[in-house]
Amino acid sequence: MIDLDTRAIVPRLKSIESLALIPRVASTNLVARRVVSECIDNELSLPQAMIIAGEQFAGRGRNDRSWSSPPGKGIYATTLISRPVRELPLVPLAIANFVATYLRDTFAIDARIKWPNDVLVGGRKIAGILIEARVQDERVFLLIGTGVNVEPVKDDTRPNAVAISEVTPRAFGGIEAATAAFVEHIDEMLSRPLDRDEVLSQWRELSVHEPGDRIHCVIGDRTLDGTWSGIDEHGRAVLNTAEGTIAVSAGDLFLA
């Protein structure tokens, strides 16, 4: 179990009201879903909280892919927040910015973002983000699942992964220090209002993509091949294809 002094951390936080530490769980997002459902069903306000697991035995990533989550090897967390519905399109890009800047500021790692919100270092994945949303009236209840590789895991589920301990040039304090810094960084970022221009500008600065990069994109049963042309004002990936210019709002994007 991660040994965090929550009583020392929580009073310093600006946005997150509580931290829940769970030694072992199927998935932090599953726990968060139950919390959100209870709040909606009973007309309660959603707690601004973060659930952190020492280990997940059924962690999932985007498109229901498995995410290996052994103890002591990574940060496995779900953050629960609510935001105005109008901010929802910005959230995936903003959270990717938060995680990338956490790695850059805390560990001097050149973290980059692959659309929409995979975080890479040197072309290898160091962090993944899975966001779920429930809309009620003018508010959206967000479950922001984040997995960050802290120590290397050598198994078949991570063929192209890298961990903080492998790439940081700074003195490394281990899983507890990395997790505490993660909580405080995410909290600081969440305490600031989302500004569309700032979110888009920062994402573009941190993007791994360059104009003209060859892209293969899978959208359900459909595939697109084209070149990268950036993101639009809604955060959609803009691809130049044989069919013309196409804006993609959701899909799996691969660097060709």
- How high is the pLDDT of residue 62? 54
DSSP 32-72: HHHHHHHHHHTT-PPP-EEEEES-BSS-B-GGG-B--B-TT
- How high is the pLDDT of residue 180? 95
- How high is the pLDDT of residue 20? 92
Of residues 249 and 156, the one with the higher pLDDT is 249
Lowest model confidence (mean pLDDT) among 59-73, 106-120, 126-140, 210-224: 59-73
Backbone angles phi, psi at 93, to 5 degrees: -70, -40
Residue 104, classed as helix, strand or coil, is helix
Neighbouring C-alpha atoms within 13 Å toward the C-beta of 31: 23
Instruction: Give pTM, 2 decimals.
Output: 0.92
Residue 64 has pLDDT above 60, yes or no: no
How many CB atoms within 10 Å of residue 152? 14
Of residues 256 and 152, the one with the higher pLDDT is 152
- How high is the pLDDT of residue 37? 86
- How high is the pLDDT of residue 240? 94
Asked if the peptide bond before residue 23 counts as cis, ω within 30 degrees of 0, the response is no
Rounded Cα distance between 209 and 199, Å, is: 16
Confidence of residue 72 (pLDDT cuts 50, 70, 90): confident
Residue ranges and CATH numbers for the domains of the chain are: 6-206 (3.30.930.10), 214-255 (2.30.30.100)
On whether the CB atoms of residues 109 and 126 are closer than 8 A, the answer is: yes
Angle at 73 (CA atoms; ends 67, 76), nearest 5 degrees: 55
Rounded Cα distance between 108 and 121, Å, is: 11
The CA–CA distances, whole Å, from 1 to 23, 79, 120 equal 5, 19, 27
| Single-letter code of the amino acid located at 20 | A
Residue 60 has pLDDT above 80, yes or no: no
- How high is the pLDDT of residue 256? 67
Residue 157 has pLDDT above 80, yes or no: no
